[in-house]
Amino acid sequence: MSEEQSQKNVAMVVMAHPDDAEFSSAGTVAGWVRQGWEVYYVIVADGAAGGPDDATEVGPEQRKLWAEIRKEEQLAAAKVLGVKEVIFLNYPDGQVEPSMALRRDLVRCLRRYKPLRVICQSPERAWVPQMFLGRYHPDHLAAGVATLAAIYPASQNPWDFPELLQEGLLPHKVLEVYISGSPNPNFPVDITETVDLKIEALRAHTTQTGPDFEGMETRIRSMLAQTGEKYKLGAAEIFHRVENGGLPAPKPDK
């Protein structure tokens, strides 16, 4: 791949579970796709622990079935948003750790697809009064640690994971990181134009959004509006945006 090709507008969203990307950043993703960005999803866990809360029989067969269902839901949601490809890393759901194996797999994705922007989950909980514990599932925290470690320094450093050089995967530097769920968000993205697509993408996760989708839709629209209001925007998703290499401080996206 030539240098010119490698600098095209590519973004990557790395999330622990099928559905995390839709809850955190689907409006932003849909907006970037409309602006001509190629967006790739990397889903770390297989989704096998996402079956009903009242399950009394949970074995390998059931887990396998749920993993299949949730991958189908993720693919359907990605299609709504115009995501180019979904890469499933298939780590066991509920057991994700920020291991060297995961870091290597993520570096492989970064070097292969060469995103300039990455959206990932926060490695830290925000201890705000309205903190929702489910937002900080341990898989989310682990995926956040692993992704940030993969971005810096491993992806851009030829001395990290030299075996990847043998696979022809040369160092790649990510320029911007958008962290969802961080304790100190600094970067709202106005998603007024794409909020309906976000809702449609969430609707694809039938098994996770429950029988009362309308109720959930109302709550989500209200939360997005509240976030936007703080910044005098319409509906908004919020991130902590950091630039890799000391570039200027973030400016809110209009």
Contact residues: Zn ion, CB under 5 A: 17, 20, 137
Q: In what order do the strands lie in the sheet with 38-45?
A: 85-91, 38-45, 10-15, 117-121, 176-180, 236-243, 187-190
Q: In whole angstroms, how close is the CB of 140 to Zn ion at the nearest point?
A: 6
**Minimum distance, C-beta of residue 197 to Zn ion, in the bound complex (Å):** 20
CB nearer to Zn ion: pick between 10 and 89: 89
- Shortest-Cβ-distance residue relative to Zn ion: 17
50 in Cβ contact with 22 (< 8 Å) = no
In the complex, least distance from residue 16 CB atom to Zn ion, rounded to whole angstroms = 5
How far apart CA 68 and CA 66 sit, in angstroms, is: 5
Whichever of 117 and 137 has its CB closer to Zn ion, that residue is 137
CB of 137 to Zn ion, least distance (A): 5
| Dist CA 172 CA 57 (whole Å) | 45
Instruction: Choose between 114 and 137: whose C-beta lies nearer to Zn ion.
Output: 137
Phi, psi of 171, deg, nearest 5: -55, 145
For the chain, the maximum distance between any two Cα atoms, rounded to a whole number of angstroms, is 55
Residue (22 or 190) nearer to Zn ion, CB: 22
